[in-house]
């Protein structure tokens, strides 16, 4: 993930604070809302890490075939990552 969890928590608190101040949302428990927004942000921001992990697993399974055909690991990594991003409808 690009950001630390502490920073994501800060972003979540500021987002909730702004939304409440602008009267876009109402909350009787802003601390609970902060936690939920932070969890959603961490989940979204860690999507690329999960996709990268899945790409590594896939390429590891095809390592021998890639070696035989002379396929470039970085090139294949990029192609598989783009396919998975499309599959998960992620914007990276």
Tokens of 43: 């989940």
Looking at residue 37, its pLDDT comes to 96
Looking at residue 2, its pLDDT comes to 83
DSSP H or E stretch at residue 48: helix 47-61
For the entire predicted model, the pTM comes to 0.71
Contact indicator for 79, 42 with CB cutoff of 8 Å: no
Instruction: Going from the first residue of the chain to its last (92 residues), give the mean pLDDT of each consecutive group of 10, the final group possibly shorter.
Output: 91 96 93 95 92 96 93 96 94 83
**Among 54, 38, 57, 62, which residue's Cα sits nearest to residue 87?**
54
Q: How far is residue 84's CA from residue 86's CA, in Å, rounded to a whole number?
A: 5
Query: Residues 56-75: pLDDT tens digits?
Result: 999 999 999 999 999 999 99
**Among 14, 22, 18, 66, which residue's Cα sits nearest to residue 41?**
14
Looking at residue 64, its pLDDT comes to 93
């Amino acid at each position: 993930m690009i950001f630390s969890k502490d920073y994501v928590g800060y972003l979540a608190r500021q987002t909730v604070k702004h939304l409440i101040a602008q009267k876009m949302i109402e909350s009787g428990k802003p601390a609970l809302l902060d936690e939920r927004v932070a969890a959603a942000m961490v989940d979204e921001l860690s999507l690329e890490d999960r996709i990268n992990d899945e790409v590594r697993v896939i390429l590891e399974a095809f390592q021998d075939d890639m070696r035989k055909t002379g396929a470039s690991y970085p090139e294949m990594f990029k192609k598989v990552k783009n396919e998975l991003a499309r599959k998960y409808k992620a914007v990276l």
